[in-house]
Amino acid sequence: MNEVTAFWILAAIAVIGALFAVRKRNLVHGVFSLLVFFGGLAGLFLLLLAEFIAVVQILVYAGAVGILILFAIMLTDRVTGKDAFRITSRGSFWGGIIAVSVFLVLLLPTIQEIPQVDNPSNSAEIAKQSTVKALGKKLIHPYVITLEILALLLTAALIGAVTAAQGGRTTEKKMSIE
Amino acid sequence: MTLTLHHFLILASILFCIGLLGALSRRNAIVVLFSVEIMLNAANLNFIAFWRFGNNPELLHGPLFTLFTIAVAAAEVALGLALVIAVYRHFRSVDLESLNTLKEE
């Protein structure tokens, strides 16, 4: 199987997964097709020889984000979508029009002729050396400040998420004590 | 026929617009949140495609930027879901159309 066939299969998986994720009435089914979308995208990253990003995609998105969204769905209601509740918002027609027009605007620069860079390092040459070691070195040498800021951001997000998610309960408790 | 940059750019724009469609046309806050994730992933695909087909792939700008984007997206989804749970606790619903406290009646 050459890489063009692989590209079409993975692209079809990603597009169909994304479409089902945004159009499914049942939220749990939507999250599972979102996981299929993340898997297809990880395959595309592998096809582009970014193997570390593909693994991170599976770990972070399919692992952490998918489970987090499933928990959020469990903690809120209306998961089955069996009722005749309308899933689209008011003015969703205009939302569709805006999405299609943004797509057309994005397509304009995309289909233009790109000046062919003479790319000396073709796929065989990239594939020869794994990018993981070089990525690790880059993260330590020029990008260590960015890495530390990201760690700080993740810690702040963790604390903020805990505070935001439990904030209501503590005030309720206080009110019931009073 | 070989793979070109155009294949990936068109695929990424299709995925981005699917995400935009979901974010603009659904009522459930969780679906809007994961539509935003779909849009971020389409942007990541662009970063990787430009890295792979562009100049100087040995500098690894594409994968590094994608790593940082993934980390920021993870922080965003954690905070977003915490906010969804806080909103649900307050309004007993995650329906975005019922959150109209600020709206003039």
The answer to whether residue A68 scores a pLDDT higher than 80 is yes
Closest to A99 (Cα-Cα) out of A110, A107, A109? A107
Residue A145 lies inside a defined structural domain of this protein:
yes
In this prediction, residue A36 has a pLDDT band, given cuts at 50, 70 and 90, of very high
Where a domain ends, among A83, A117, A139? A83
Average pLDDT over residues A145-160: 94
Cβ-defined contact of A61 to B62 (cutoff 8 Å): no
Closest chain A CA to residue B36: A22
Contacts of residue A100, defined as CB under 8 A and 6 or more positions apart, other chains included, come to B17
d(CA A22, CA B20): 10
Residue A32 lies inside a defined structural domain of this protein:
yes
Strands of A12-146 (E only): list them.
none
Q: What is the CATH number of the domain that holds A28?
A: 1.20.120.1200
DSSP β-bridge partners for residue A64: none
Which ipTM did the prediction report? 0.92
Residue A177 lies inside a defined structural domain of this protein:
yes
d(CA A68, CA A76): 13
Where a domain ends, among A24, A50, A83? A83
DSSP β-bridge partners for residue A134: none
Position with higher pLDDT, A83 vs B94: B94
The answer to whether residue A174 scores a pLDDT higher than 60 is no
Could you tell me if A70 and A142 lie in one domain?
no
Could you tell me if A79 and A139 lie in one domain?
no
- Best mutation target among A7, A60, A71, A76 (most B Cβ atoms within 10 Å) is A76
For a pLDDT cut of 70, what percent of chain A falls above it? 79
User: How far apart are the CA of A114 and the nearest CA of chain B, in angstroms?
Assistant: 9
Q: What confidence score (pLDDT) does residue A128 get? A: 60
Contact status of B43 with chain A (Cβ, < 8 Å): no
Cβ-defined contact of A110 to B6 (cutoff 8 Å): yes
Domain that holds residue A143: 129-178
d(CA A82, CA A100): 29
Tell me how crowded residue A61 is: count the other CB atoms within 10 A of its CB.
Answer: 25
Closest chain B CA to residue A27: B31
Residue A99 lies inside a defined structural domain of this protein:
no
Q: Tokens representing B78?
A: 């954690």
Position with higher pLDDT, A146 vs A92: A146
Where a domain ends, among A22, A56, A83? A83
In chain B, domain spans? 27-92
Q: What confidence score (pLDDT) does residue A83 get? A: 56
Average pLDDT over residues A50-57: 91
Residue A103 lies inside a defined structural domain of this protein:
no
b vs e for B33-65, b when ≥16 Cβ sit within 10 Å of the residue's Cβ? bbbbbbbbbbbbbbbbbbbbbeeebeebebbbb
Contact status of B91 with chain A (Cβ, < 8 Å): no
Distances from the Cα of B101 to the Cαs of A54, A92, B35, B74, B96, in angstroms? 42, 21, 24, 29, 11
Are B7 and A111 in contact by the 8 Å Cβ rule? The answer is no
Q: Tokens representing A96?
A: 């569709």
Per DSSP, the residues of B50-86 read HHHHSS-GGG-HHHHHHHHHHHHHHHHHHHHHHHHHH
What's the residue count for chain B? 105
d(CA A157, CA A102): 31
| CA contacts within 13 A on the Cβ side of B26 | 26
Q: What confidence score (pLDDT) does residue B60 get? A: 85
Residue A109 lies inside a defined structural domain of this protein:
no
Average pLDDT over residues B20-28: 89
Residue A34 lies inside a defined structural domain of this protein:
yes
Tally of domains in chain A: 2
> How many helical (H) and strand (E) elements, i.e. helices and strands, does chain A have?
8, 0
In this prediction, residue A148 has a pLDDT band, given cuts at 50, 70 and 90, of very high
Q: What is the count of residue pairs from A and B with beta carbons less than 8 Å apart? A: 232
